[in-house]
């Protein structure tokens, strides 16, 4: 950022305006710093000429501001008190307003780049899907998500002033820095990372449920058998161990068949339970769903 007070800003050539605005090195007078195609539309893309009139209109139109993202240049007349006054003039605005605009714009981009770098670092630490690296990856990813949310709700703002020149310059500055596009990209990366973590957590929960279901399924056989024998419908206290074993097998075989048969019909039974729980369905539909459970085929 630079504030330049010169004797006559109207004597600055177009090539020098380009060098100032694009932070190019000095060169011969009349020679453009870059190719003509690249510099086409320079004034429209980089110059904020709200207070500049190349035809020497009056002293209120002798200040030119150029913003290219990398550099911000303000040029005016050195003998103009309105431009050089450090208390109420444009110099004061440059120090206390435009300088802060630049800090905010670059702070936004730097913060977004830090979040992106941390995401890349977290991903690079994921090696061979070992338990240690996976745990570290999840912790770093969620921490990045928290930091990004804090940045979004506390520091990400686009209206920094109620004055139109400051609003226009801030919009121009962020456009050249590509901050809005970067914000969208980082946001998508963070959401993709969190979506992956959530889906991975759901997958693990589903695997756990499947394992518990298998354990419960086979444990149900023993529960039914011991429950039947534990009702004491048959007095087995006076019989031999061989007879007790025969009674146990006699109860085990039908209970096992019953359990596997119910498992085979589980999908239809689930549909029947859903139909029964729907109060809007008439009795006829519920009865049809019950009959459908025991039909052969589909």
- Looking at the domain assignment, is residue 283 inside a domain? no
Structure tokens at 74: 């303000």
Alpha carbon distance 80, 7 (integer Å): 9
For residue 282, being part of any structural domain is answered with no
As a residue count, the chain comes to 298
pLDDT in tens, 227-273: 777 766 676 677 788 887 887 888 888 888 877 877 777 778 778 88
Question: Could you tell me if 69 and 119 lie in one domain?
Answer: no
Please indicate, yes or no, if residue 92 is contained in any of the structural domains.
no
**Same domain, yes or no, for 48 and 118?**
no
**DSSP 3-state assignment of 74?**
strand
Across all residues in the chain, what is the average pLDDT? 86
Q: Is residue 148 part of a domain?
A: yes
Neighbours of 131 (CB within 10 A): 7
pLDDT digits (tens, 9 = 90+) for 164-175: 999 999 999 999
Place of tokens 């996976």: 134
Evaluated on CA atoms 247, 249, 250, 251, the torsion sign reads positive
| Same domain for 200 and 125 | yes
**Residue range of the domain that includes 108:** 102-204
For CA atoms 102, 105, 108, 110, the dihedral sign is negative
């Amino acid at each position: 950022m630079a504030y330049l007070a010169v004797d006559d800003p109207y004597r600055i050539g177009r090539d020098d305006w380009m060098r100032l605005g694009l932070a190019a090195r000095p060169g011969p007078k009349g020679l453009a710093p870059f190719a003509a195609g690249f510099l086409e539309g320079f004034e429209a893309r980089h110059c904020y000429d709200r207070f500049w009139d190349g035809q020497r209109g009056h002293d209120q139109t002798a200040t030119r501001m150029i913003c290219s993202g990398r550099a911000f240049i303000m040029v005016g007349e050195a003998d103009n008190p309105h431009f050089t006054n450090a208390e109420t003039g444009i110099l004061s605005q440059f120090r206390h307003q435009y300088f802060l605009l630049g800090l905010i714009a670059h702070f936004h981009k730097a913060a977004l780049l830090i979040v992106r770098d941390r995401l890349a670092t977290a991903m690079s630490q994921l090696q061979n899907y070992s338990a240690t690296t996976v745990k570290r990856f999840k912790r770093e990813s969620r921490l990045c998500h928290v930091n990004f949310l804090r940045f979004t709700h506390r520091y990400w703002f686009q209206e920094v002033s109620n004055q139109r020149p400051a609003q226009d310059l801030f919009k121009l500055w962020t456009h050249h820095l590509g901050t809005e596009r970067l914000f969208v990209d980082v946001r998508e990366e963070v959401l993709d990372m969190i979506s992956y973590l959530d889906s991975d957590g759901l997958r693990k929960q589903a695997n756990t449920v499947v394992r518990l279901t298998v354990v419960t399924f086979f444990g149900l056989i023993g529960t039914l058998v011991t429950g039947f024998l534990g009702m004491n419908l048959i007095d087995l206290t006076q019989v031999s161990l061989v007879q007790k074993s025969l009674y146990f097998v006699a109860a085990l075989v039908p209970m096992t068949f019953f359990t596997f048969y119910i498992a085979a019909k589980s999908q239809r039974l689930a549909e029947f339970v859903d139909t029964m729980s729907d109060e809007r369905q008439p009795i006829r539909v519920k009865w049809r769903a019950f009959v459908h459970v025991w039909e052969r085929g589909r």
